[in-house]
Chains A and B, each alone.
Chain A
Amino acid sequence: MEREKMHRLLRDMMLSRVFEERAAEEYQKGNIVGFLHLYPGEEAVAAGVINAAGPSDYIVSTYREHAHALVRGVPPRAVMAELFGRATGMSGGMGGSMHMFDRERRFMGGYGIVGETYPIAIGIGYAIALRALPESVICFFGDGAVNQGTFHESLNMAALWRLPVLFVCENNHYAIGTDIHRHSAVPEVYKRAAAYNIPAEKIDGMDVLKVYDATRHALDRIRRAGGPQFLEFETYRYRGHSMADPGAYRPPVEVKAYQVIDPLTIGAREIEFRYPTPAELAAVGPDNIARLTEHMISVGHLEEEEVAQIRKEVEAAVEDAVQFSLASPQPTMADAWQHLNSNRRHEQLLQA
């Protein structure tokens, strides 16, 4: 992989991490309200998958989608302002954390109901197939979502009609608070795709390079052969399910074990006071946080001091996003009605 691409991955992951930690702070300050599901720990999946997609591909995401939007290229300002509920947010302040949309970037939404992304994705896939376009849909979902009926319904239709959909399972091992061994009879999620003859692979979701390569190959296969593909990425979220969830159901040793294979570089570590220190990490053994950084340094794509530079840049971008959001206007009720009726165009409905 060339230098530029690796830098892009590193930067996207660092931006996602710093952004989410800042979102948590702003939540505690009361600037962000409602449900807030954060992504730390899973960055390698968003960065690897979405960077492997082309601009004409569609992304359908879940309620844990801030990082997906950022990696897709939505400006941090628009993402943060949506969390703040401001008129300048990517959904005009109408959607919030769980409902981020960007039509221009083919970012087809964050959905708040578990298992909703599949039907939307196969619908977009159906439209692509009808129009015979060389595009694909990337459909995100978690391990908790594979026990919804829509999983089976939609995979069946995708396979039956050979729709260009890449199903991407972000397996963080928990359906909110229930461990995968307690919610799934077959905990190897990728095996379920075999029931619908959909080619599937399980990938280490803590290794962004592997994520990227697997996605690129899967998308190539979709473009060549037309039918759906399925990737399961094993990953982990460091935080609870949402800000309302301290995550107390998880053994500390488990959280820590995953944190030592953190997909991020040490670059963002200083602000993550609750994670193990570099010394602690070193004591545990090889660290996946350093995996990308070390790899990049070893192949001559990164200098030590560049890490600090990238960190400075993403922190500045996030700070700018927060300031922008604070200064942004609140949407009015007139804006809300306008959004509701925006598709009415020339149609005159009856006056109430």
Chain B
Amino acid sequence: MTQELLYWQALNRALDVEMAADESVFVLGEDVGLYGGSYRVTEGLYAKYGEARVRDTPISENSFTGLGVGAAMVGMRPVVEIMTINFAMLALDSIVNGAAKIPFMSGGQFPMPLVIRVPGGVARQLAAQHAQRLESMFMNVPGLRVAVPSTPQDAYWQLRQAIASDEPVVLLEHEVLYFTKGPVDTMAEPPPMHQAAIRRAGKDLTLIGYSRTALQAQEAAAELARDGIEAEVIDLRSLNPIDWKTLSDSVNRTHRALVIEEDCRHAGAGAEIAASLAERCFFSLDAPVQRVAALDIPTPYNGALEAASIPRVADITAAARALLGPREKAAA
């Protein structure tokens, strides 16, 4: 059954389905209950499942995330919402030293069916402390899985898959995507949680994005198509693990790769992707893998400066043309 849903509604639907199916699923976080969630993701669940399973917490990120870790160790399936990724800095001990380590350092004795939902990214003039990406920080922690849905359909699928997983999953939700709309088929068989999706086929170069930048890459590809440039667009959908096969198959066909990330450029998510593609596809690359990334600067409050600090569609098309070089001139 396919419906048009907003991104937050798709997440809400996924939570509802999982909570109805399994009593061990419970939700906790700041204002997830009575208030309904800062981005409405938990709307209606408090009334339906009660306060014990939709738990409003005090503002104590490290301890309520750690509460999720402890509950997961004894077979519960907690879904922790950290209001924004910026506040997840306070919970890094529970995420990095706890959730990611316990299954391993116990010699595999404990499962960690924990989901940590984290809104993030640069939204609209929220300033430096509320406008960070930080995905590369979580990518660098073995034992954590990181999913980055860009569409309502993926938000629905990947949250359900994350809840079903016995490993800790960080679900990075982009704040500007919550009110985007798209078709959600609740009956269809989802692809594997970490498989990348080819959003648009093309032969001239591969644009690689995730979360919001996957949508920007599609816009850029549409614009490039007007000039006869056929860009392939890959939506990674997951940052740990990364679907290297889909990526390298594409790059081996197009011979050029451009990574678009909202993470800061220095040691960002794109650095890993570019380095790995250079290792895997060196002999089929016609040019070095390039990145369009956020500037290495805290996000300015000023709206124009904020917009200039992260990738824009025009930056992507310009970088794509530069990457194509003489070939692009020939076409023109």
- A→B interface (CB under 8 Å): 58, 60, 89-95, 99, 101-103, 108-109, 111-113, 116, 118-130, 149-150, 153-154, 156-157, 160-161, 336, 338-340, 342-345, 347-352
Flag the segment in B30-38, B71-79, B257-265, B324-332 that touches A: B71-79
Asked if A343 and B167 make an inter-chain contact with CB atoms under 8 angstroms apart, the answer reads yes
With a CB–CB cut-off of 8 A, which chain B residues contact A156?
Answer: 58, 60
With a CB–CB cut-off of 8 A, which chain B residues contact A89?
Answer: 107
A-B contact count (CB 8 A): 164
With a CB–CB cut-off of 8 A, which chain B residues contact A101?
Answer: 102, 105-107, 109-110
Closest-by-CB residue of B relative to A160 is B58
Asked if B106 and A94 make an inter-chain contact with CB atoms under 8 angstroms apart, the answer reads yes
With a CB–CB cut-off of 8 A, which chain B residues contact A111?
Answer: 97
Asked if A350 and B192 make an inter-chain contact with CB atoms under 8 angstroms apart, the answer reads yes
Q: Tell me, in angstroms, the Cα distance from A60 to B69 when the chains sit together.
A: 13
Asked if B94 and A157 make an inter-chain contact with CB atoms under 8 angstroms apart, the answer reads no
Q: Which of B105, B109, B112 contacts A102 (CB 8 A)?
A: B109
Does chain A have a CB within 8 A of B308? no
Does chain A have a CB within 8 A of B26? yes
Q: Tell me, in angstroms, the Cα distance from A349 to B240 when the chains sit together.
A: 10
B:98-113 near A, CB below 8 Å: 98, 101-113
Closest beta carbon of chain B to A114's beta carbon, Å: 10
Render B197-210 as a binary contact track against A, CB cut-off 8 A, 1 for contact.
Answer: 00000000000000
Flag the segment in B7-15, B148-156, B241-249 that touches A: B241-249
Instruction: Please list the 7 inter-chain residue pairs (A to B) with the smallest Cβ-Cβ separation, ordered nearest first.
Output: A123-B70, A119-B66, A92-B107, A342-B108, A153-B63, A153-B60, A101-B106
* Interface contacts beyond A119-B64, A120-B69: sample of 4 additional A-B pairs, CB < 8 Å, sorted by A: A118-B63, A123-B71, A336-B104, A344-B166
Asked if A345 and B166 make an inter-chain contact with CB atoms under 8 angstroms apart, the answer reads yes
Q: Tell me, in angstroms, the Cα distance from A295 to B103 when the chains sit together.
A: 44
Q: Which of B62, B66, B245 contacts A123 (CB 8 A)?
A: B66
Closest-by-CB residue of B relative to A58 is B74
B:80-131 near A, CB below 8 Å: 93-94, 97-98, 101-113
Q: Tell me, in angstroms, the Cα distance from A101 to B74 when the chains sit together.
A: 13
With a CB–CB cut-off of 8 A, which chain A residues contact B243?
Answer: 350
Closest beta carbon of chain A to B73's beta carbon, Å: 6
Which range holds the interface residue count of chain B?
Answer: 35 or more
Asked if A121 and B70 make an inter-chain contact with CB atoms under 8 angstroms apart, the answer reads yes
Q: Tell me, in angstroms, the Cα distance from A95 to B97 when the chains sit together.
A: 13
Q: Which of A91, A109, A126, A345 contacts B67 (CB 8 A)?
A: A126
Asked if B142 and A340 make an inter-chain contact with CB atoms under 8 angstroms apart, the answer reads yes
Asked if B71 and A126 make an inter-chain contact with CB atoms under 8 angstroms apart, the answer reads yes
With a CB–CB cut-off of 8 A, which chain A residues contact B192?
Answer: 348-350
User: Are A120 and B66 CB-contacts (below 8 A) given A157-B58, A343-B103?
Assistant: yes
Closest-by-CB residue of B relative to A118 is B63
Asked if B69 and A339 make an inter-chain contact with CB atoms under 8 angstroms apart, the answer reads no
Asked if B109 and A91 make an inter-chain contact with CB atoms under 8 angstroms apart, the answer reads yes
Q: Tell me, in angstroms, the Cα distance from A102 to B73 when the chains sit together.
A: 12
Q: Which of A120, A161, A347 contacts B73 (CB 8 A)?
A: A120
Does chain A have a CB within 8 A of B299? no
Q: Tell me, in angstroms, the Cα distance from A150 to B109 when the chains sit together.
A: 25
Asked if A153 and B93 make an inter-chain contact with CB atoms under 8 angstroms apart, the answer reads no
Q: Which of A92, A130, A157, A351 contacts B108 (CB 8 A)?
A: A92
Closest beta carbon of chain B to A105's beta carbon, Å: 11
Closest-by-CB residue of A relative to B102 is A109
Closest beta carbon of chain A to B52's beta carbon, Å: 6
User: Are A130 and B52 CB-contacts (below 8 A) given A91-B109, A123-B70, A123-B72?
Assistant: yes
Does chain A have a CB within 8 A of B194? yes
Asked if A130 and B109 make an inter-chain contact with CB atoms under 8 angstroms apart, the answer reads no
Q: Tell me, in angstroms, the Cα distance from A209 to B79 when the chains sit together.
A: 42
